């Protein structure tokens, strides 16, 4: 079915749920719950500066990072919404030490899905009014329905995802998601609180001229990344490329998908395994990228083929226009 603009997210979900392999309505209700929680978080993000929601909360998360007040709020909002609606059997959040087992009112849980979520990606940008986002990933559980979830349900490679998406809280608020049948974007009309299909069948340009990397860490990058950056800056053919780095993965990814570009967060001497989380950030973004004709790699292998061994595992991340990712892989493999 070809999506039509002016269609609401709710209508789109209903009309397209038959494309989903295990069509039971449960996945549709799950995405609707994420939509609801996103509205709550969006409302709070838009009040930043008017209420006491800016700054740090005074705690650190499992990553050792200072938690922003909005991190805590967003984390609680998504967990509460998904838990109260009893549509998932487990949740793993970047802000939580361990996964959360959800029991139904009967004490058991017959739901089929687990959600992994980065509630507020780029939250350190909130204080300076820069776009932030939410990233989510959905898997079908491995363990038997009716039993408590285990770590095994969350440590699945990205190629087992059944849905993934992100919400970007920017000049407009958008939900962009895939269930393995292309990528579609929906923009919130704040006047009536409804998301409308605004970006049907989103695609990465095969080539691009934007590279997004924190060049302040250049001296600590692997030689292959240094060589690729020099390649991007060289005056030849359609180069030099443009350097654009916001510091919010959702924002950088979203721009590059629309305009064509590559996002780079390599390993460094300080972070030899990279810094981005495989399960909460890289896998969902890789799924979206591939469904939009792009590519995602750790520099040597496909992100979604990596078998996770830890809930908060980190990985280098190269994601974006297919030809650009393949070019940086070439540089990495030559060193």
What average pLDDT does range 91-98 have in this prediction?
Answer: 94
**Residues in the annotated binding site for substrate:** 121-124, 214, 245, 275
- Return d(Cα 298, Cα 274) in angstroms, integer: 9
Q: Considering its fold, how many domains does the chain have in total?
A: 2
CATH code, 42 = 3.30.540.10
User: Do the Cβ atoms of 283 and 289 come closer than 8 Å?
Assistant: no
Same domain, 85 and 171: yes
User: Do the Cβ atoms of 9 and 174 come closer than 8 Å?
Assistant: no
Report the DSSP beta bridge partners of residue 185: 176, 199
Q: Which of 118-127, 186-195, 206-215 has the lowest mean pLDDT?
A: 118-127
Taking only the tens place, the pLDDT of each residue in 110-126 is: 788 999 999 999 877 77
Residue 205 within any structural domain of the chain: no
Contacts of 84 (CB under 8 A, 6+ apart): none
Rg of the chain, C-alpha, whole Å: 19
Same domain, 148 and 287: no
Q: What are phi and psi of 127, to 5 degrees?
A: -65, -20
Per-residue confidence (pLDDT) for residue 64, from 0 to 100: 53
Per-residue confidence (pLDDT) for residue 231, from 0 to 100: 98
Which helix (H) or strand (E) element contains residue 12?
A: helix 9-16
Same domain, 187 and 291: no
Residue 3 within any structural domain of the chain: no
Same domain, 181 and 240: no
Same domain, 59 and 175: yes
Per-residue confidence (pLDDT) for residue 254, from 0 to 100: 97
Number of Cβ within a 10 Å radius of residue 106: 9
CATH code, 287 = 3.40.190.80
Final residue before a domain boundary, out of 157, 177, 199: 199
- Return d(Cα 151, Cα 153) in angstroms, integer: 5
Residue 204 within any structural domain of the chain: no
Which helix (H) or strand (E) element contains residue 250?
A: helix 249-259
Same domain, 286 and 215: yes
What average pLDDT does range 134-159 have in this prediction?
Answer: 95
Report whether pLDDT(40) > 60. Answer: yes
Taking only the tens place, the pLDDT of each residue in 50-90 is: 444 444 544 555 555 556 678 888 999 999 999 888 789 99
Final residue before a domain boundary, out of 173, 199, 225: 199
Residue 4 within any structural domain of the chain: no
What average pLDDT does range 3-31 have in this prediction?
Answer: 76
Whole-Å CA distances, 173 to 29, 93, 189, 308: 20, 22, 8, 31
Three-class HEC string of 148-192? CCCHHHHCCCHHHEEEEEEEEECCCEEEEEECCCCCEEEEEECCC
Residue 20: band (very low, low, confident or very high) from pLDDT cuts 50, 70, 90: low
- Return d(Cα 328, Cα 154) in angstroms, integer: 30
Per-residue confidence (pLDDT) for residue 106, from 0 to 100: 57
User: Do the Cβ atoms of 118 and 134 come closer than 8 Å?
Assistant: yes
**Residues in the annotated binding site for Mg(2+):** 94, 118, 120-121, 281
Taking only the tens place, the pLDDT of each residue in 271-287 is: 999 999 999 999 999 99
Nearest to 276 by CA among 135, 113, 74, 169: 135
Same domain, 263 and 185: no
Classify 284 as helix, strand or coil.
helix
Which helix (H) or strand (E) element contains residue 252?
A: helix 249-259
Residue 120 within any structural domain of the chain: yes
Residue 7: band (very low, low, confident or very high) from pLDDT cuts 50, 70, 90: very high
Report whether pLDDT(303) > 80. Answer: yes
Same domain, 182 and 279: no
Per-residue confidence (pLDDT) for residue 53, from 0 to 100: 44
Q: Which of 6-15, 106-115, 276-285, 313-322 has the lowest mean pLDDT?
A: 106-115
Q: Residue 235: CA atoms inside 13 Å, Cβ hemisphere, count?
A: 0
Which helix (H) or strand (E) element contains residue 197?
A: strand 194-199
Same domain, 193 and 225: no
Residue 17: band (very low, low, confident or very high) from pLDDT cuts 50, 70, 90: confident
Residue 321: band (very low, low, confident or very high) from pLDDT cuts 50, 70, 90: very high
Nearest to 213 by CA among 261, 285, 282, 279: 261
Residue 292 within any structural domain of the chain: yes
Final residue before a domain boundary, out of 142, 172, 199: 199
Residue 24: band (very low, low, confident or very high) from pLDDT cuts 50, 70, 90: low
Per-residue confidence (pLDDT) for residue 118, from 0 to 100: 96
**Structural domain that includes position 162:** 9-199
- For residue 258 the two structure tokens come to 């629309």
Same domain, 87 and 177: yes
Taking only the tens place, the pLDDT of each residue in 211-232 is: 999 999 999 999 999 999 999 9
Q: Which residue has the higher pLDDT, 203 or 48?
A: 203
Classify 278 as helix, strand or coil.
helix
Same domain, 104 and 191: yes
**Residues in the annotated binding site:** 94, 118, 120-124, 214, 245, 275, 281
Same domain, 195 and 289: no
Residue 1 within any structural domain of the chain: no
Report whether pLDDT(203) > 80. Answer: yes
- For residue 277 the two structure tokens come to 């989380």
Residue 145 within any structural domain of the chain: yes
């Amino acid at each position: 079915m070809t999506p039509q603009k002016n269609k609401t997210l709710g209508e789109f979900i209903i009309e397209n749920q038959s494309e989903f392999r295990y069509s039971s309505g449960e996945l549709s209700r799950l995405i609707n719950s994420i939509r609801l929680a996103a509205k709550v978080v969006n409302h709070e993000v838009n009040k930043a500066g008017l209420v006491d929601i800016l700054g740090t909360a005074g705690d650190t998360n499992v990553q050792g990072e200072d938690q922003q007040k909005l991190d805590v709020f967003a984390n609680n909002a998504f967990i509460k919404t998904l838990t109260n609606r009893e549509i998932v059997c487990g949740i793993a959040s970047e802000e939580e030490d361990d996964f959360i087992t959800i029991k139904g009112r009967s004490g058991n849980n017959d739901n089929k899905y687990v959600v992994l979520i980065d509630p507020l990606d780029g939250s350190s940008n909130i204080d300076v009014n820069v776009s932030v986002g939410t990233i989510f990933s959905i898997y079908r559980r491995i363990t038997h329905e009716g039993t408590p979830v285990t770590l095994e349900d969350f440590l699945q490679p990205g190629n087992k995802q059944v849905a993934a998406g992100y919400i970007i809280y920017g000049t407009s608020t958008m939900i962009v998601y895939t269930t393995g049948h292309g990528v579609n974007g929906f923009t919130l009309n704040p006047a009536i609180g409804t998301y409308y299909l605004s970006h049907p069948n989103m695609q990465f340009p095969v080539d691009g001229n934007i590279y997004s990397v924190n060049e302040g860490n250049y001296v600590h990058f692997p030689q292959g990344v240094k060589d690729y950056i020099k390649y991007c800056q060289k005056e030849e053919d359609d180069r030099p490329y443009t350097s654009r780095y916001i510091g919010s993965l959702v924002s950088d990814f979203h721009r590059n998908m629309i305009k064509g570009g590559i996002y780079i967060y390599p390993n460094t001497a300080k972070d030899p395994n990279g810094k981005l989380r495989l399960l909460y950030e890289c896998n969902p973004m890789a799924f979206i990228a591939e469904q939009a004709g792009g590519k995602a790699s750790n520099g040597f292998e496909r992100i979604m083929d990596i078998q996770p061994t830890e809930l908060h595992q980190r990985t280098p991340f190269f994601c974006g226009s297919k030809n650009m990712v393949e070019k940086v892989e070439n540089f990495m493999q030559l060193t």
